[in-house]
Amino acid sequence: MIRGKTLSYLRGRLERLTSKITPNARSLHNSIEQDDEESIELSLDLEDLSAWMAHRDANPDFFQHAYFDRLGDTMLRKGCIEPLTGRHIAPGELSGGATWREDLAYEGVSSRVRAVMYVISSILEEGKIHSPRIYAAEGITPFAMRLRGLYSHFLGSEFTLDPEQLKQLYPIPCEDLQKLTLRSEAFDIVSTNEVLEHVPSIDAALREMHRVLRPGGWHVGTVPFAYFDETSTRRAMLDEHGEIIHLLEPEYHGDPMNGDGVLVA
């Protein structure tokens, strides 16, 4: 797993908010039982693109598919430990698939999501936070259900403009990440997993996350990540009337609220 305080196009926009972000890689953070019974953890702290490039140059094997294939295959054979819950996932309980990032799933939680759970666990342990207030921009996913079962002050929300969906969603709150109704400086952690790439205004979302985090709080999340590019690609935007303008061929990602997926902005 790769942890960075800022990421690509987000850099410099949060002067007082530190983010731990797992980028779009074949990233793993799981306790992996190797044949010699040693536990292996992949964890990198990166501040900027130059640090990432330096790591790439110093560790060329890290970027070989065979390297991650070996680790993934070992997990499938040996199992792993789920962060936060401490649950031992036995061999045969993990699902394989086309990518290590989105697969190696157990009860709906993929390798990528376990990486997020690991970062949250590290923050709580290092900060000695025993009763955390955590907000996640998801409320009906397996990740949200895990956290809701662990922490009494967890709040997860979804977003929809459909009145019927809104009715069915209740009592799960509906929140627009660009205009949160939440109290300022209320949360230790805000989590957005594969969310920011769908928000029309990332700046507005970052401002709101910053507002609701307590001083020294953490943003933890995942976003699609172009390894060697410091700029982002805008695929769509809203005009002054709120209508979608497509700048590139529309791309949609899976969404628990919409079977047709959600547009990538």
β-bridge pairing 187-193 and 154-156: unpaired
179 falls in which pLDDT band (50, 70, 90)? very high
| Residue 151 in this model has a pLDDT that exceeds 70 | yes
Distance of CA 169 to the CA centre of its chain: 22
- Tens-place pLDDT, residues 128-139: 999 999 999 999
Q: What is the overall mean pLDDT for the chain?
A: 80
Q: Name the token pair of 175.
A: 């929140």
The Cα 255–Cα 253 span in angstroms is: 6
pLDDT for res 192: 97
Coil, helix or strand at residue 97 = coil
Contact 93, 104 (CB under 8 A): no
- Tens-place pLDDT, residues 139-150: 999 999 999 999
**Residue spans of alpha helices (H) in the chain:** 49-58, 65-78, 111-126, 142-150, 163-169, 202-212
| Residue 108 in this model has a pLDDT that exceeds 80 | yes
Contact 215, 186 (CB under 8 A): no
Contact 49, 42 (CB under 8 A): no
- Tens-place pLDDT, residues 18-47: 334 333 333 333 443 344 444 556 667 777
pLDDT for res 216: 95
β-bridge pairing 244-246 and 236-238: antiparallel
pLDDT for res 26: 33
pLDDT for res 263: 62
pLDDT for res 32: 37
Contact 99, 134 (CB under 8 A): no
| Residue 125 in this model has a pLDDT that exceeds 90 | yes
| Exposure string over 207-227, b if 16+ CB within 10 A, otherwise e | ebbbebbeeebbbbbbbebee
Instruction: Read off the pLDDT of each residue in 151-174 and give the average, rounded to a whole number.
Output: 94
Going from N- to C-terminal start, the domains of the chain cover 2-232
For the chain, helix (H) and strand (E) counts, in that order, are: 6, 15
Provide the β-strand partners of residue 18. Answer: 218
Q: Which residue has the higher pLDDT, 91 or 29?
A: 91
Q: At what angle do helices 142-150 and 111-126 cross, to 10 degrees?
A: 30
Query: For the ranges 52-66, 187-201, 230-244, which has the lowest average pLDDT?
Result: 230-244
255 falls in which pLDDT band (50, 70, 90)? confident
The Cα 104–Cα 111 span in angstroms is: 6
Determine the Cα angle at 5 with ends 136 and 11, to 5°. Answer: 95
**Alpha-carbon distances of 45 from 2, 3, 77, 179, rounded to whole Å:** 6, 5, 28, 31
Instruction: Read off the pLDDT of each residue in 57-83 and give the average, rounded to a whole number.
Output: 86
Coil, helix or strand at residue 234 = coil
